[in-house]
Amino acid sequence: MAVIPLPDAVRKSLRGLYAITPDCLAANVLLDRVRAALQGGAAFVQYRDKGGDTTRQAETARALLALCRQFGARLLINDDLALALAVGADGVHLGATDGKLATAREALGGARLLGASCYDDFERARAAAALGADYLAFGAMHPSSTKPLAVRASPSLMTRCRAELQVPACAIGGITVENAAPLLAAGADLLAVISDLFEAPDVASRAAAYYQLFEENARDLPQSTTF
């Protein structure tokens, strides 16, 4: 399958709904829901699959990438740099136990995206920024049914992230359409959402509601989103 590169301007505008795939869905159901999220305006998709079936993961990642290409969205792979490189995804998201950011940055080059989990830790964010992360993720912002033991983080970390590090900030954890506006006001460029999006009765409408929130909150951002 030919991989069509995204224009640089699109690649560098890191703002919008970041739809993270839920576990335990059949591949066809997952793809239908991701398609709906993209129809509603999701700008980024993260393939997050904690199962160990590498053949299925590669197939699903390729199918998700093709879908993202149809909508001009970007696909990142959670945890797995090798899978991201093998399928030609747009980037990888790494947490504290997922390998070195420096290694990933080098392997990805400048054009693909590197996201880093920073939890509630601003010094981790500072280090990740220095290693070339394209966005820094903070959370959980709210209790998360997907990850109930996730550490809780303050939205003020995102304000600091934008002001002190000039790197886009991503909020994650328990985000809903109802609680998202203060996160955008605090400086979130990306809203990473699993359950509120993918468990919605109408995934496309829920994604569109997030899209609308980004539109409404554009003028309230603490600083320009172009770094």
Ligand X SMILES: Cc1ncsc1CCOP(=O)(O)O
Binding-site residues sit at 46-50, 78-79, 98, 117, 144-147, 174, 194-195
- Binding of ligand X at residue 140 (CB under 6 A)? yes
Neighbours of 182 (CB within 10 A): 12
The phi, psi pair for 168, rounded to 5°, reads -55, 145
Q: Which of 11, 126, 147, 152 is catalytic?
A: 147
- CA neighbours within 13 Å on the CB side: how many for 13? 10
Output 12 or 121, the one with its CB closest to ligand X.
Answer: 121
Q: Which position among 15, 35, 48, 74 bears the catalytic label?
A: 48
From 5-13, 93-101, 161-169, 181-189, span contacting ligand LCLJCK34 (CB under 6 A): 93-101
Q: Which residue has the tokens 């797995």?
A: 80
Residue choice 133, 161, 170, 193 for contact with ligand X (CB under 6 A): 193
208: CB partners within 8 A, 6+ apart: 40, 41
Binds ligand LCLJCK34 (CB under 6 A): choice among 170, 177, 183, 209: 170
**Which residue, 112 or 198, is less far from ligand X as judged by CB?**
198
Query: Phi and psi for 196 in degrees, rounded to 5?
Result: -60, -25
Greatest alpha-carbon span in the chain = 44
47's enclosing H/E stretch is strand 44-47
Active site includes 147?
Answer: yes
Residue 117 designated active-site: yes
d(CA 10, CA 85): 20
Give the DSSP letter of residue 7.
P
* Per CB under 6 A, 195 contacts ligand X: yes
Q: Which of residues 161-190 bind ligand X (CB under 6 A)?
A: 172-175
Interface with ligand X by CB under 6 A: which residues? 139-140, 144-147, 150, 172-175, 193-196
Give catalytic residue positions: 48, 117, 147
